[in-house]
Structure 1
């Protein structure tokens, strides 16, 4: 059956080889020459301006692995990875896309240069192709990844919790793990290797904990199979919160307030405002004092670090 335009209608035919609805496909389908479509690799959004940087901190020659990852993510979001990977090649001069391709290439060149410090940018600013800049940076700085991995793995055994809370300690050690993973060229997704790597991370995390988590650490190591690092982090975080609540409760139950006046000391115990000290005596021999309240009861308390003037 055909419609008024002579196009065969498949929606009502018995052919089931086509999807019931082609609406999702129509959103992403575009003509190869229509670079105004948002999914076209040569499409330029209004926010993609010349002179902007792809990263918050320009690359200064150190931390290339982290900088490289941020650049790849930023270009992927802008659908411009093909310009540094060599996938998007320049069309012939006769092509209607030639001018738009050059525009996109120059835009990526500008982004890369502005993501470098001035000293490094000067060494690549005359490169005409974004792929050429990227290849030169890869060749120049990726060779230092081995030394960086050695430095990070040497630092890992010395990471400990110290005065940090669980969250801060976990963030410090996880940052090292992620950086090693991002610049390592020996990636294996097989089950055995990943399991061994996860266990190694778990042991590193547990070894750096303070002794206050000795019991929690022992309980975790008795779990078979061993939980993931993320699960252990959740367990220890809950343990830390429970410790803080317990400490706060103990402090509140045993607290008392002391007020120093011009005429001497005043002691207030409990929450009953009528039971206040009428008289305080300080004995210099043992820094103890006694008081009698409104109902005549007497008690003796010790003052630590307090002397009689």
Structure 2
């Protein structure tokens, strides 16, 4: 009986040892490997280097976003307290992460600013010092500068989204420098709605004139839309205008293509294709042919046989000069010459009239006609 009890106790002891081993519980004196204090953390570099007051807000927003991706923004905001026991593993883990954040912050600063805060031991102290020096909260000059930029900003050549992005960036800076502080939450909500209506008006007024029709439609509504709704409406209008301009450009391009028809006929003067002889710039060639005719492109009224354009014009011009000189000589003769000329004309006319109205000369009319023709 006693042997059976001893066997049962031994089996129970063996089962207990097996259970302890399975659960991973070791004896107090055993050496158990401890897990790593912290897993490897990689932070994306901040592309914006903090240079001072001018870009502190952009730098701080980007820095908080990157830290938030790893759950580390509490180290700069003071939300993660330092453990009291520096000998504990918890403190070691906190110290490693805090030092990592400090090194990352220093790498995102310009050398001169980094040298001013590199002696600070913790991330929260570095962050608060930079915020105090460069945040610009309560800076009246910065507020006035941003107000002027907002009032002067117009869309110009920017797209709707580029224009509204610049506006929102300036408004965010203005909210930072001059935050809205009211005692009651209801007042804050009502005031934010009032501010948004003013910003919708500013956004619509700064648009280009091509959005006048759509903008007038929004102004005629009984209630102004929200800023998001106004931006969406103008983005749609921008797409419509682009499609309209594209259609007009294609139509004008088609008309230009038709007007750009090229001549394919062969030039009679030079023999080349692409133009006709009337537009030919080459020297005119002489064309000689049989019979009565004019050279191609010759002047009307200039008779010639096989003459070129230049010779026709020259001979006609000389003939006209000779005729003009003869007429001038006739007008400058003496009165005796004039009476003689008139007498000859009368005789000629008389002979012609006598020939027509009398029967004289009927026998030899052919001879008389040939004499007068000569």
TM-score interval, normalised by the smaller of the two chains: 0.5 to 0.7
* Paired residues of 2:136 and 2:142 also in contact (CA < 8 A): no
**Structure-1 separation of matches of 2:171 and 2:276:** 63
SS of equivalent residue, structure 1 residue 235: helix
**Structure-2 separation of matches of 1:215 and 1:247:** 16
- Aligned partner of 1:209 in structure 2 is 207
Confirm or deny that 1:105 pairs with 2:98. yes
**TM-superposed deviation, 1:263:** 8.5
* Paired residues of 1:159 and 1:208 also in contact (CA < 8 A): yes
Confirm or deny that 1:148 pairs with 2:146. no
**Structure-2 separation of matches of 1:184 and 1:48:** 35
User: Relative to 1, partners in 2 of residues 1:184 and 1:281: Cα closer, same or farther, differing over 3 Å?
Assistant: farther
- Superposed, 1:1-309 pairs within 5 Å as 44-48=38-42, 53=45, 55-61=46-52, 62-91=54-83, 92-143=85-136, 146=139, 147-186=141-180, 190-254=188-252, 255-257=255-257, 258-259=259-260
Residue by residue over 1:226-279, the C-alpha shift from the partner in whole angstroms, topping out at 9 and shown as x without a partner, is: 111221122122222222222332333342324486999xxxxxxxxxxxx997
- Which range moved further: 158-167 or 116-125? 158-167
**TM-superposed deviation, 1:177:** 2.0
Residue by residue over 1:150-173, the C-alpha shift from the partner in whole angstroms, topping out at 9 and shown as x without a partner, is: 221111111111222323222222
* Paired residues of 1:65 and 1:183 also in contact (CA < 8 A): no
**Structure-2 separation of matches of 1:98 and 1:247:** 66
Bigger Rg, which one: 2
User: Relative to 1, partners in 2 of residues 1:250 and 1:84: Cα closer, same or farther, differing over 3 Å?
Assistant: closer
CA RMSD of superposed structures (Å): 3.1
**Structure-2 separation of matches of 1:112 and 1:137:** 10
User: Relative to 1, partners in 2 of residues 1:84 and 1:64: Cα closer, same or farther, differing over 3 Å?
Assistant: same
**Structure-1 separation of matches of 2:191 and 2:35:** 44
User: Relative to 1, partners in 2 of residues 1:224 and 1:125: Cα closer, same or farther, differing over 3 Å?
Assistant: same
**Structure-1 separation of matches of 2:249 and 2:229:** 31
TM-score normalised by L of structure 1: 0.64
**Structure-1 separation of matches of 2:160 and 2:87:** 62
**Structure-1 separation of matches of 2:73 and 2:163:** 35
User: Relative to 1, partners in 2 of residues 1:239 and 1:98: Cα closer, same or farther, differing over 3 Å?
Assistant: closer
User: Relative to 1, partners in 2 of residues 1:198 and 1:259: Cα closer, same or farther, differing over 3 Å?
Assistant: same
**Structure-2 separation of matches of 1:194 and 1:111:** 36
* Paired residues of 2:264 and 2:275 also in contact (CA < 8 A): no
User: Relative to 1, partners in 2 of residues 1:122 and 1:139: Cα closer, same or farther, differing over 3 Å?
Assistant: same
SS of equivalent residue, structure 2 residue 89: coil
**Higher relative contact order at CA 8 Å, sep ≥6: structure 1 or structure 2?**
1
* Paired residues of 2:51 and 2:110 also in contact (CA < 8 A): yes
- Higher normalized helix content (fraction of residues): 2
Listed as ranges, the gaps of 5+ residues in structure 1 are 1-33, 37-42, 265-276, 283-309
User: Relative to 1, partners in 2 of residues 1:35 and 1:65: Cα closer, same or farther, differing over 3 Å?
Assistant: farther
- Higher normalized strand content (fraction of residues): 1
SS of equivalent residue, structure 1 residue 97: helix
* Paired residues of 1:152 and 1:176 also in contact (CA < 8 A): yes
**Structure-2 separation of matches of 1:119 and 1:232:** 44
**Structure-2 separation of matches of 1:175 and 1:167:** 12
- Aligned partner of 1:8 in structure 2 is none
TM-score normalised by L of structure 2: 0.54
**Structure-2 separation of matches of 1:138 and 1:207:** 35
**Structure-2 separation of matches of 1:244 and 1:77:** 39
